[in-house]
Amino acid sequence: MAESIIQHKSFQFALEIIHLYIKLQEQREYVLSKQLLRSGTSIGANVEEASGGQSRKYFLAKMYIAYKEARETKYWLRLLQQSKLVNIDLTNELIYADEIIRILSSIVKTTEKSIG
């Protein structure tokens, strides 16, 4: 089966988060960077699990978790950006997070309607 758009985008986003984590560590930001790494890579992991799910309800549950992780990731990105703890522009990551949130929100809403 071909990789879906959300699978591709969440995987690419996880790679960006890993690279960002390394940069944050270089600037001695250890606490928020670890939170960001956990939530940012969890999005794709939950999308992958959802894709291999045994039922629509399981798919919905995993996609909803991915959605929540994406929102949490955006929170950590905003906190890092606005606190100025590090000297890194996170605008692109915030835009990418918003895109993933919109896609996951749409998937969750559509799936909820189809389940009834």
44-88 per-position pLDDT tens digit:
999 999 999 889 999 999 999 999 999 999 999 999 999 999 999
Residue 114 CA to residue 2 CA, distance in Å, equals 22
Please state whether the predicted TM-score (pTM) of the whole model is above 0.85: yes
Task: Please identify which residue in the block is written with the tokens 């798919």.
Answer: 59
Percent of the chain scoring above 90 in pLDDT: 93
- Please give the domain boundaries of the chain with CATH numbers for all domains: 5-115 (1.20.1440.60)
| Residue 14 host element (H or E) | helix 5-26
Predicted local distance difference test score (pLDDT) of residue 1: 58
Exposure string for 85-97, b = 16+ CB within 10 A, e = fewer: bbeeebeebbebb
Predicted local distance difference test score (pLDDT) of residue 53: 82
